[in-house]
């Protein structure tokens, strides 16, 4: 049986199509690649449930031992359904697995109901135990079914209405993603460590990192802010890196600072933003009341050609 399950697919060229075990597909298509996929008979392939148990943060107490039970990532049992509809060659077809089948496509299987019923009845049940299902590499038809069926959340052939029951556990993919995640964290931490104090304060303002002690309302020292800044890099590395390179943050920070310190005001005319010390006009702010709205208008002005001089002056004041 093992040799029959592991045998190579039968392939024929038929007028522009390729026929694999009696199933016609376009050569080089996704369907083609899945039909000829090879499995290492010496390996075991793992599939795991797509849904994990929620960790509510509260221990579950075993009433018999009066001790906390370890959190279980998956539910203890889930049966595997051996029939499925899939989207294949732009149409819907049925696939079905039973032990000893030579094709998982229902169109290629015996048509007699009593024969099929008997084959299904004789098929060994497979179940996900504690979220895992392990399949030997020589069970080619079962592996093909698992990779094609709509219960597989990663199947390119799944129908949109099917429940996402499981996913293949791809060790290389997991390792690649974990490596990428760690690289991102390391990059964010390095940026947080190397940023100048000015850059840190600008970025920290955007990230919402507090600059005052909550209880005393005393200003935090640069060392204390740096610690919070590096902690945020660790907690949200992707957003940290993406926003770190945002040049507009610096301009918005300087504008807000200028408004707060009354370096820029509208004291002479509520419809005009001016340099408070000289009284020179910057731009029109008609109808704007809040500092937030005025700040946004000044930022927009700094991004156009007539606002270039304003931007140069602003940076000259703060970028020292």
Taking only the tens place, the pLDDT of each residue in 111-144 is 999 999 999 999 999 999 999 999 999 999 999 9
- 265 exposure class (CB count in 10 Å sphere: 0-12, 13-18, 19+): middle
Q: How confident is the model at residue 55 (pLDDT cuts 50, 70, 90)?
A: confident
Q: Say which residue, 74 or 320, is predicted with more confidence.
A: 74
What tens digit of pLDDT does each residue of 251-279 get? 998 999 999 999 999 988 999 999 999 99
What tens digit of pLDDT does each residue of 151-210 get? 999 999 999 999 999 999 876 666 777 888 999 999 999 999 999 998 899 899 889 999
User: Which range among 58-67, 115-124, 240-249 shows the weakest confidence by mean pLDDT?
Assistant: 58-67
- For residues 78 and 89, state if they share a domain: yes
User: Which range among 11-15, 107-111, 288-292 shows the weakest confidence by mean pLDDT?
Assistant: 11-15
- For residue 135, give both structure tokens: 């399949």
| Assigned domain for 272 exists | yes
- For residues 47 and 155, state if they share a domain: yes
Q: How confident is the model at residue 10 (pLDDT cuts 50, 70, 90)?
A: low
Which residue range is the domain that position 190 belongs to? 170-246
pLDDT of 83: 97
| Assigned domain for 237 exists | yes
| Assigned domain for 86 exists | yes
**Averaged pLDDT for residues 95-114:** 96
- For residues 190 and 77, state if they share a domain: no
95: left (phi > 0), else alpha (psi -120 to 50), else beta? beta
Q: Which has the closest alpha carbon to 278: 288, 260, 265?
A: 265
pLDDT of 272: 94
| Assigned domain for 269 exists | yes
| Assigned domain for 100 exists | yes
| Assigned domain for 205 exists | yes
pLDDT of 183: 94
pLDDT of 2: 41
pLDDT of 143: 95
| Assigned domain for 13 exists | no
Q: How confident is the model at residue 86 (pLDDT cuts 50, 70, 90)?
A: very high
Q: How confident is the model at residue 3 (pLDDT cuts 50, 70, 90)?
A: very low
| Assigned domain for 274 exists | yes
User: What percent of the chain stands above pLDDT 70?
Assistant: 93
- For residues 191 and 164, state if they share a domain: no
**Averaged pLDDT for residues 241-249:** 88
Last residue of a domain, one of 146, 169, 192: 169
CA distance 305 to 290: 25
Three-class secondary structure of residue 158 per DSSP = strand
- For residues 165 and 80, state if they share a domain: yes
pLDDT of 12: 58
What tens digit of pLDDT does each residue of 219-230 get? 999 999 999 999
Last residue of a domain, one of 126, 146, 169: 169
The DSSP 8-state label assigned to residue 155 in this structure reads -
- For residues 226 and 268, state if they share a domain: no
- For residues 84 and 160, state if they share a domain: yes
**Is a pLDDT exceeding 80 seen at residue 248?**
yes
- For residues 226 and 256, state if they share a domain: no
- For residues 74 and 113, state if they share a domain: yes
**Averaged pLDDT for residues 64-88:** 89
- For residues 79 and 138, state if they share a domain: yes
pLDDT of 210: 92
State the total domains in the chain.
3
Whole-number mean pLDDT of the chain? 89
- For residues 73 and 141, state if they share a domain: yes
CA distance 295 to 274: 13
- For residues 46 and 132, state if they share a domain: yes
pTM exceeds 0.75, yes or no: no
Last residue of a domain, one of 120, 149, 169: 169
CA distance 150 to 88: 11
Q: How confident is the model at residue 314 (pLDDT cuts 50, 70, 90)?
A: very high
Output the CA–CA distances (angstroms, integers) from residue 106 to 38, 67, 103, 200, 278, in the order listed: 21, 51, 8, 63, 84
User: What percent of the chain stands above pLDDT 90?
Assistant: 70
């Amino acid at each position: 049986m093992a040799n029959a399950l592991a045998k190579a697919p039968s392939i024929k060229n038929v007028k522009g199509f390729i026929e694999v075990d009696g199933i016609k597909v376009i050569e080089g298509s996704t369907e083609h690649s899945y039909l000829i996929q090879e499995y290492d008979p010496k390996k075991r392939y793992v599939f795991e449930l797509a849904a994990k148990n929620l960790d509510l943060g509260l221990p579950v107490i075993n009433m018999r031992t009066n001790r906390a039970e370890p959190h279980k990532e998956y539910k203890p049992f889930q049966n595997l359904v051996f029939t499925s509809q899939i989207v294949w060659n732009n149409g819907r077809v049925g696939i079905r697995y039973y032990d000893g089948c030579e094709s998982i496509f229902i169109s290629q299987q015996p048509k007699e109901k009593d024969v099929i019923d008997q084959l299904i009845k004789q098929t060994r049940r497979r179940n996900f135990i504690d979220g895992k299902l392990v399949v030997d590499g020589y069970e080619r038809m079962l592996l093909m079914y698992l990779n094609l069926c709509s219960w597989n959340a990663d199947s390119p052939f799944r129908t949109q209405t099917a429940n996402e029951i499981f996913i293949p556990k791809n060790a290389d993919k997991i390792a690649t993603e974990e490596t990428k995640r760690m690289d991102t964290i390391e990059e964010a931490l390095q940026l947080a460590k190397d940023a100048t104090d000015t850059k840190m304060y600008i970025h920290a303002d955007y990230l919402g990192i507090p600059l005052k002690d909550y209880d005393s309302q005393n200003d935090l020292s640069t060392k204390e802010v740096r610690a919070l800044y590096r902690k945020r890099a660790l907690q949200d590395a992707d957003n940290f890196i993406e926003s770190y390179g945002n040049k507009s943050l610096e301009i918005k920070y300087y504008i807000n600072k200028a408004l707060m310190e009354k370096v820029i005001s509208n004291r002479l005319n509520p419809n005009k933003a001016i340099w408070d010390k000289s009284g020179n006009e910057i731009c029109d702010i008609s109808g704007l009341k809040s500092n937030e709205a005025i700040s946004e208008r000044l930022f927009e002005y700094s991004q156009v050609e007539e606002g270039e001089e304003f931007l140069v002056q602003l940076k000259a004041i703060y970028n020292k």
